[in-house]
Structure 1
């Protein structure tokens, strides 16, 4: 014989069912609907604008000129210095002075492997530049983030005498250079990470308590390497000669510095894949366009009125964070951001930010990487690992 539920219990049961159904509906809508502040039509415009690089035409011209350039090398001051330059004669008129495309002046010391044989510099330069340019002009693959383990982690593990498992590092720290690190006492915590990335050869000695002392990878831009060529042996190792260096190419002429410096580096000197560079560039420009439209109410097509589109670029810090997300299971970030009264860099007296970066747009990206990585364009199919910023 069936028994009916007492009315009070039946009422509570119905309320529970309604609440459960409501919770399911809220969860479904949260995961299936796009964020309210994203306009689908505007997104399509931003995607198109961010994929266009107005500097691409001049870049192609620079690459073409460099590949047709001649090499000149001569010693001065009794062989103490060597000047290496790339130049090209424009036109057939011999009276026209050749145009210098790249030049480095470096000190020479006996019993070093620096610089390499002069006969090898030009073919090595051309090979490196052609390989880079071919990849730079290739389509942006969705798999590029997943390829970072093979392109960055694997050569580092092999150099350190370890067999690469193909798995990401367990924990990684990206240490920025903001003055907010002073007095933070993060040093010991930073050192506890399995893999530590530092930026643009920032000074560590004297700041260990706040920034740590461990360095697994030095991440720089090619302008830093260009400065290193002026030193004996192309010394670019503030963290020791056995610390690998990864860098992105700011200008194709810096491949001359790469070829010269690579001959003296004990640890790997890695160049980031141009497709990865393009990924970072497009994401950054997308958010900068969106920020401009949100702040001004103007069409994102007018973004050029407040930005120099030919020099606009992501920061080294942003690309280092993106690199860490590709090779690590969990990423901690230190020394990013600013507060009133803090120095721009913890180890310098620089006061202003560079106009070619949009740091506020990059902070927007970081917030989305933490809270809603699925809305970030160009990252389709990539599972963003946990990311934590420490201030």
Structure 2
């Protein structure tokens, strides 16, 4: 199937999938979840916590493997005692990517009915977008580059940052504080800012060991990239943390199912750095999981209820 990862091949493959009724296959789901948890163990290791990281220990950075950071008392106090998600395992989870395929999808209401909603990189969930993407958010990832570019590293634009966060309700903000050493200070700043202003949101941090194990897991399945995309990381965690997983907005191609051009994101057309992620290879894996009944991939419009 699409060994060269061509857009037209994928569009044809997905159109064929759309003609079939999707069914969850519990045995396939349990089998894949077992392999994933044996390798990566999101239940205990997804987030840096006091349970999996002791005071006075050193954490090695995910990407900069020769660098580490001492978990001194000030850092230790930032960490939740254990994995902070109440209600685990969640029944129905929505993992919402930011693909332009979401435009005019009318998926918002369906997404908002999920028990737990994951989002990526502080996407706009207000105004006209709500009908397509919903606004319920339980966890949203925050790329430090967004903080730097959009909010001036929080030097002058703290108020704007806090104001925009109100759209995300009582959600977790998940930051890669220990992926690169350059991410650490800004991630900690977000944590302190939320606490200082008693924001509804709470900052938590990816565990670098989880991300390293996850990269190794997917590398063994052909996804070789400088780094996995955030959406793929979150999807992997969701398979361990949820009973049913449905993906929305996962579409790394420049055309929709009818071959018409679409923007890269539903809110802009900014393309990823060339060679940084392996999006078509990730999509191949997602499509395989859809075929096998492990998760459901929503492409195109949702049925209005």
1:223 to 131, 145, 148: 145
Range with bigger deviation, 321-330 or 349-358: 349-358
Q: Secondary structure at the match of 1:59?
A: coil
1:208 to 95, 112, 130: 130
* Structure of greater relative contact order (alpha carbons < 8 Å, 6+ residues apart): 2
Partner of 1:363: 283
C-alpha deviations, 1:244-281, integer Å up to 9, x for none? 21133431232212222212213321112222211221
> Are residues 1:390 and 2:295 paired?
no
Q: Give the alignment's TM-score, normalised by structure 1.
A: 0.49
Q: CA 1:362 to 1:123, structure 2 compared with 1: closer, same or farther past 3 Å? A: same
- What is the aligned length? 219
2:237 to 323, 328, 343: 323
Q: CA 1:124 to 1:186, structure 2 compared with 1: closer, same or farther past 3 Å? A: same
1:281 and 1:57 mapped to 2: Cα distance? 10
1:210 and 1:174 mapped to 2: Cα distance? 14
- Unaligned 5+ runs, structure 2: 1-27, 29-59, 256-260, 300-305
Contact 1:182 1:210 in 2 (8 A): yes
Partner of 1:237: 165
1:252 to 181, 185, 188: 181
The 5 A counterparts of 1:177-192 are 177-192=98-113
- How much has 1:361 moved relative to structure 2? 1.5
- How much has 1:354 moved relative to structure 2? 3.9
1:178 and 1:352 mapped to 2: Cα distance? 12
- How much has 1:349 moved relative to structure 2? 2.6
2:64 to 32, 35, 59: 59
1:272 to 203, 206, 219: 206
1:359 and 1:352 mapped to 2: Cα distance? 9
1:360 and 1:152 mapped to 2: Cα distance? 32
> Are residues 1:313 and 2:227 paired?
yes
Contact 2:287 2:297 in 1 (8 A): no
Q: Secondary structure at the match of 1:207?
A: helix
Partner of 1:284: 218
- How much has 1:207 moved relative to structure 2? 0.7
The 5 A counterparts of 1:80-95 are none
Q: Secondary structure at the match of 2:240?
A: helix
C-alpha deviations, 1:58-115, integer Å up to 9, x for none? 8244447xx7xxxxxxxxxxxxxxxxxxxxxxxxxxxxxxxxxxxxxxxxxxxxxxxx
Contact 1:226 1:254 in 2 (8 A): no
Q: Give the alignment's TM-score, normalised by structure 2.
A: 0.62
- How much has 1:239 moved relative to structure 2? 2.5
1:57 and 1:151 mapped to 2: Cα distance? 19
Contact 2:105 2:132 in 1 (8 A): yes
Q: CA 1:186 to 1:252, structure 2 compared with 1: closer, same or farther past 3 Å? A: same
Structure with bigger gyration radius: 1
Q: CA 1:212 to 1:241, structure 2 compared with 1: closer, same or farther past 3 Å? A: closer
Q: CA 1:324 to 1:58, structure 2 compared with 1: closer, same or farther past 3 Å? A: closer
Contact 1:176 1:199 in 2 (8 A): yes
Q: Secondary structure at the match of 2:210?
A: helix
Contact 2:223 2:278 in 1 (8 A): no
- How much has 1:238 moved relative to structure 2? 5.6
